[in-house]
């Protein structure tokens, strides 16, 4: 079974802190994705990566950056956390066929 | 641009009754279509997918979906709902080239199951 793990299930940070969300997949997938999920808005794509060291902006990249130094790991970085970044963050990975497998999510609260 | 519409925000179904969740998409070419389910506090789990071929697709947990190109729809169905099916359901369409695919998600339908 494909497994996508995220470093934390719940995280509480203060405004202005630098926040790292880690995601690891064990299926040698080329593609990895970061979404945020908010009530009534569904899932919105923040960034994705189709290869090591490659990244592309999604629909809402402002305030975020990413890092992919190894194929299995994709990190989301909030350079200076703000309260409007309080959300559920979901990581996913996929093979070429496009079927995405999701991690359990990180619920981030920024105070 | 691709888009997905799930017109029902909430649906309540009695246990044992049939279920149909609606999904309409907008995409210029033949779409790749997916249904995911999310239990409270969890990530998304793939229920079923359509890439090509038979337009009636069987998935896990007794779910099925039918691709209707003429109606741009990919509705999810289950003949008899169980209390454990209460969750949020997301329809998604694959957008992009064959090398990788971004998914565009609908806003979800929350299913409530009454006794």
Contact in structure between B40 and B93 (CB atoms under 8 Å): no
Contact in structure between A11 and A107 (CB atoms under 8 Å): yes
Q: What percentage of residues in chain B have a pLDDT greater than 70?
A: 94
Q: pLDDT tens-digit profile of B20-56?
A: 999 999 887 778 899 999 998 888 999 999 988 889 9
Residues 6+ positions from B20 with CB-CB distance below 8 Å: B75, B76, B77
Give the best residue of B8, B44, B92 to mutate against chain A (max A CB count within 10 A): B44
Confidence of residue A97 (pLDDT cuts 50, 70, 90): low
A90 touches chain B (CB under 8 A): yes
**The pLDDT value given to residue A40:** 85
Asked if the model's pLDDT at residue B95 lies above 90, the reply is no
More confident residue, A40 or B46: B46
Q: Which residue reads 């990581």 in tokens? A: A91
**The pLDDT value given to residue B100:** 58
Asked if the model's pLDDT at residue B13 lies above 60, the reply is yes
Instruction: Give the single-character DSSP code of A94.
Output: E
Structural tokens at position A1: 């079974």
Contact B43 A105 (CB under 8 A): yes
Structural tokens at position A59: 């629909």
Contact in structure between B63 and B47 (CB atoms under 8 Å): yes
Give the Cα separation of B90 and A43 in Å (integer). Answer: 9
Q: What is the DSSP annotation of A53-65?
A: TEEEE-S--TTEE
B74 touches chain A (CB under 8 A): no
A39 touches chain B (CB under 8 A): no
Confidence of residue A2 (pLDDT cuts 50, 70, 90): low
Q: What percentage of residues in chain A have a pLDDT greater than 90?
A: 80
Give the residue among B87, B110, B88, B109 at the shortest CA–CA distance from B5.
B109
**pLDDT average, residue stretch B53-78:** 94
């Amino acid at each position: 079974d494909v497994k996508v793990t995220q470093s934390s299930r719940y995280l509480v940070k203060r405004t202005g802190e630098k926040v790292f969300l880690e995601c690891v997949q064990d299926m040698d997938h080329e593609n990895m994705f970061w979404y945020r999920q908010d009530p009534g808005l569904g899932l919105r794509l923040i960034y994705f990566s189709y290869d090591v060291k490659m990244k592309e902006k999604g629909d809402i990249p402002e305030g975020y950056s990413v890092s992919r130094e190894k194929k299995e790991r994709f990190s989301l970085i909030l350079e200076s956390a703000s309260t409007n970044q309080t959300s559920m963050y979901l990581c996913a990975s996929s093979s070429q066929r496009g079927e995405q497998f999701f991690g359990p999510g990180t619920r981030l609260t920024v105070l | 641009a691709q888009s997905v519409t799930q017109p029902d925000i909430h649906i309540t179904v009695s246990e044992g009754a049939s279920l149909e969740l609606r999904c309409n998409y907008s995409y210029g070419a033949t779409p790749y279509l997916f249904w995911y389910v999310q239990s409270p506090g969890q990530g998304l789990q793939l229920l079923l997918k359509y890439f090509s071929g038979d337009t009636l697709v069987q998935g896990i947990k007794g779910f099925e979906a039918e691709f209707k190109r003429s109606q741009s729809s990919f509705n999810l169905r289950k003949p008899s709902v169980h209390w454990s099916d209460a969750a949020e359901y997301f329809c998604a369409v694959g957008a992009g080239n064959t090398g990788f695919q971004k998914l565009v998600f609908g806003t979800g339908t929350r299913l409530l199951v009454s006794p």
